[in-house]
Amino acid sequence: MTKGPESAVRASPVPRRLIPPQRPRSAAEKRRKLRTRVTITLFLLPGLILFSLLVLAPILLAMYSSVFKWNGFGLLPKNFVGLDNFTRLLENEIFLGDLQRGLILIVLSLVVQLPLALAIALLLNQKMRLRALYRLLFFAPYVLSEVIAAVLFSMLLSPERGFANEVLGFLGLGSSSFLSEPDTVMFSLFIVLTWKYFGFYMILYLAGRQSIPKELTEAAQIDGATPWHVFRYVTLPLLGPTIRITAFLAVIGTVQLFDLVYVLTGGGPVHASETLGVTMYDFGFNRFQVGYASAISVVMFVLSLVFALGYQRFVLRRDLEGATTTMGGGRR
């Protein structure tokens, strides 16, 4: 039986792709590659050493000491207590209150502080007189240290001849103990935090707004879009990456809040303004319960790490991938 042309084609062997032989590396190429690796290692080594000593070593030491009963004296703790320090945290009303107050500050930051910064950034993006001066004035509080800001507001909000009470007295509204009343101290603390940090977020939003091409907003206006529609459907979506980054910074900053609160209120009155950082400092340096304070620091680290990883995985994923699209409009 004679085979047809199709069977002959199938039966014919398929030629294999020729792979060019690799040229053996010369001794000069090997030395050049070795020098490159050594150079990279030498440049990275100082940074790695500093990172290990200032970041990794304290984290590992805190994790180690958190399972011991230690007063901070001596080289290393020896009284192993296991997870008792963490069990005490769950039974401590001050620690649970710290979590609640931190959550309140986070919600206020996301709902009040960041929208305020965005509104001022959009306002200062418009053409107006002394625009550069206004930007400088709003950003200036962020340049000040937290200690200076706390001392400044402790004098302004002082119940005895403080500027705030002088203004209230002039308006006939009496006086108020802003920092010494449990009902008003958190509100006063949030005002100070907003004054201190909203300028930083404003600059980020302003930079993000200026990176939006004018052609997009002008095209929307030509098509008949109102200023609200331009903001809602053009400006706000393009500011999405900046807004997500500022929200991340606000949450992490609130979890680690310490110096401004410690100088301004010391966590009082009656722990009404205490944060995780203030509680950790109090147990570690005032009560000499370093093992228990280390457990609080480990909780702060875990909260920050879990939030950062989860936020990066579920919220910042599109931004990190570049939000690239295919010709058909779908994501890659």
Is residue 101 pLDDT above 90, yes or no?
yes
Q: What is the mean pLDDT of residues 24-47?
A: 87
Q: Per the domain annotation, does 279 fall within a domain?
A: no
> Rounded CA gap, 246 and 59, in Å?
26
Is residue 182 pLDDT above 60, yes or no?
yes
What is the per-residue pLDDT across 218-238, written as a single tens digit (0 to 9) for each? 898 888 889 899 999 999 999
Q: Are 86 and 231 in contact (CB under 8 A)?
A: no
Q: Which are the contacts of 239, defined by CB distance < 8 A and separation ≥ 6? A: 118, 205, 208, 209, 212
- pLDDT at residue 168, rounded to an integer: 82
Residue 145's domain spans which residues? Answer: 95-274
Q: Per the domain annotation, does 239 fall within a domain?
A: yes
Residue 172 tokens read as 């006939």
Q: Per the domain annotation, does 304 fall within a domain?
A: no
Q: Per the domain annotation, does 68 fall within a domain?
A: no
Hey, which residues does 68 pair with through a beta bridge? 80
Q: Per the domain annotation, does 111 fall within a domain?
A: yes
Q: Per the domain annotation, does 90 fall within a domain?
A: no
Q: Per the domain annotation, does 255 fall within a domain?
A: yes
What CATH number is attached to the domain comprising 108? 1.10.3720.10
Say which range, 6-10, 66-70, 182-186, 268-272, has the weakest mean pLDDT.
6-10
Q: What is the mean pLDDT of residues 108-134?
A: 93
Is residue 20 pLDDT above 70, yes or no?
no
CA angle 303, 295, 271 (to 5 degrees): 80
The model's pTM is 0.82
Nearest to 187 by CA among 157, 142, 144, 143: 157
Query: Which residue, chain included where needed, has tokens 């935090």?
Result: 193
Say which range, 19-23, 72-76, 118-122, 247-251, has the weakest mean pLDDT.
19-23
Q: Beta strands 68-69 and 79-80: pairing type?
A: antiparallel
- pLDDT at residue 327, rounded to an integer: 37
Q: How many residues does the chain have?
A: 332
Q: Which helix (H) or strand (E) holds 69?
A: strand 68-69
Largest CA distance in the chain: 116
Say which range, 2-16, 149-163, 198-212, has the weakest mean pLDDT.
2-16
Hey, which residues does 79 pair with through a beta bridge? 69
Higher pLDDT, 265 or 14: 265
Q: For residue 23, what pLDDT band results from cuts at 50, 70 and 90?
A: low
Is residue 16 pLDDT above 60, yes or no?
no
Q: Per the domain annotation, does 326 fall within a domain?
A: no
CA angle 249, 254, 256 (to 5 degrees): 100
Q: What is the mean pLDDT of residues 175-180?
A: 83
Average pLDDT, the chain: 87
Domain count, the chain: 1
- pLDDT at residue 322, rounded to an integer: 61
- Number of Cβ within 10 Å of residue 182's Cβ equals 12
What is the per-residue pLDDT across 279-328, written as a single tens digit (0 to 9) for each? 999 999 999 999 999 999 999 999 999 999 999 999 888 777 765 444 33
Hey, which residues does 325 pair with through a beta bridge? 331
